[in-house]
Structure 1
Amino acid sequence: TRAAALFRDLSLARADGRLRQLLRRLNWIDVLVVDDWVMAPMSESERRDFWEIAEDRYQTRSMILTSQLPVSRWHEQIGDPTLADGILDRLVH
């Protein structure tokens, strides 16, 4: 799925009370593919939501991220240094 579509779906799910349900559904996907990852700086809610996804999947399920940006720029696009460290740590290890 494209990152923009994923974050839109997460935002809509949060608005109508389905966020936990959507996060559970995403966690059951064996390999979650996210296209166009961090093409724009992430908002606070996008960072928190992606942290939840990365944490839920850590060491149990795989993720494939595609991006036009080099990995060295991901940290700055994520924004918040603490969440960026946590997200990237779970993606790399």
Structure 2
Amino acid sequence: MQLTTALHRNQLEETIKRITKPYKLLIIDEMGYLPMDREQANLLFQVVAKRYETGSLILTSNLPFGQWDQTFADDATLTAALLDRLLHHAHVVPISGDSYRLKEKRQAGMINRMPPPHLNDADDIKRKRNSKEAAPSH
């Protein structure tokens, strides 16, 4: 990941500016395809926070919002903060139906259809975060 390399080379601020500033549109494809460790999740959050209300962002994912915390090192707080920024001015376009790549396999019964993501999953993440904060520590 470019951001991790930049962090370790002390070039993070310059790299984030290079990624976020000159472009009217930033596209992040396949969010959640690979899980992120805490450092990577924090770096992505910095990019989204820097981009927030300054430029357009298109983000694609096959995961429902309720599973995003698993992608971001099981950090429900970071995930909720990220979703707050992403969804604030967002136009969410849920797409359902057969994947054009997997359509033949589904028709042959080789794989099952996955349910479409739910728009209220962001609320599930917030509830999960709040229940962790409210839990007594031992």
Common topology (TM > 0.5): yes
Query: Are 2:6 and 1:13 equivalent residues in the alignment?
Result: yes
Structure (1 or 2) with the greater helix fraction: 1
> Cα deviations across residues 7-31 of structure 1 (Å, max 9, x unaligned)?
x111111121111100111221211
Tell me the distance in 2 between the aligned counterparts of 1:56 and 1:85: 16
Partner of 2:46: 52
Q: Distance in 1 between matches of 2:68 and 2:76?
A: 11
Q: Which whole-Å CA distance do the structure 2 matches of 1:17 and 1:42 have between them?
A: 20
Distance, in Å, in 1 between the alignment partners of 2:30 and 2:63 is: 9
Match of 1:63 among 39, 57, 62: 57
Give the structure-2-normalised TM-score: 0.57
Question: Does residue 1:26 correspond to 2:19, yes or no?
Answer: yes
Deviation (angstroms), 1:72: 3.1
Q: Which runs of 4+ in 1 moved over 4 A?
A: none
Larger Rg: 2
Scaled by the length of structure 1, what TM-score is found?
Answer: 0.82
Matched, 1:89 2:81: no
The amino acid across from 1:34 in the alignment is I
Range with bigger deviation, 81-90 or 64-73: 64-73
Cα deviation for residue 59 of structure 1 reads 1.2
Q: Give the gaps of 5 or more residues in structure 1.
A: 1-7
1:37-48 alignment, distance < 5 Å:
37-48=31-42
- CA–CA distance in structure 1, aligned partners of residues 80 and 67 of structure 2: 13
Higher-RCO chain (CA-CA 8 Å, sequence separation at least 6): 1
| Residue of structure 2 equivalent to 1:5 | none
